[in-house]
Amino acid sequence: MDFDLHMVLVIAAAAVVTYGTRIGGYVLITRMKRIPPRMEAALNAVPAAVLTTLVAPTFFAGGWDTRLALIAALFVGLRTSHTWMLLAAWIVVMVWRHTIGA
């Protein structure tokens, strides 16, 4: 076992704040007696809103290999499942990088 005390303390603090974010919303929402409809609408938008922000900048900042792969995955994903999306994106990226972009 090879631990550096400073590193371990920083990691432990990071773990604590991360856990705080993961329980924080629950603590807040259970304090409320009734959830107003507008807040419920806001909560319903959470998955689409947050997860979109994890994809959009990648598309924007990435090269054409990344963009084409995500577009291909988008079309595949409208009809099939996750696994096929991953495969489609991976094939596009590999073909691009080892032919056109190589």
Partner 1 sequence: MNRADFVEGLRAGFPIALASAPFGALFGALAVEQGMSLSEVAFMSATVYAGASQLVGLELFGHHAQAWLIVLSILAVNFRHVLYSAAITRYIDHFTPVQKFFTFFLLVDPQFAETVKRGEAGKPVTFTWYLGCGIIVYIPWVLISVLGGMLGSFIGDPKAIGLDILLPTYFLGIVLGFRKRDNFLAVAVVSAVASIVAYHYVGSPWHVSLGAAAGIVLAALLPLPPQEPDLEADALQSDVHEV
* CA–centroid distance for 41 within its chain: 21
Q: How far is the CB of 71 from partner 1 (least distance, A)?
A: 10
- Taking the least distance from each CB to partner 1, the nearer of 45 and 100 is 45
Give CA–CA dist 95/102, Å, rounded: 9
Rounded to the nearest whole angstrom, what is the least distance from the CB of residue 62 to partner 1 in the complex?
Answer: 8
The binding site for partner 1 (CB under 8 A) comprises 1-4, 6-15, 17-30, 37-39, 41-61, 65-66, 69-70, 73-74, 77-78, 82-83, 85-86, 89-90, 93-94, 97
| Cα three-residue angle 99-62-69, rounded to 5 degrees | 55
Instruction: In whole angstroms, give the CA distance from residue 93 to residue 83.
Output: 16
Query: Half-sphere exposure of 3 toward its Cβ, with a 13 Å CA cutoff?
Result: 8
Which residue, 15 or 100, has its beta carbon nearer to partner 1? 15
Q: Which residue's CB is nearer to partner 1, number 27 or number 33?
A: 27
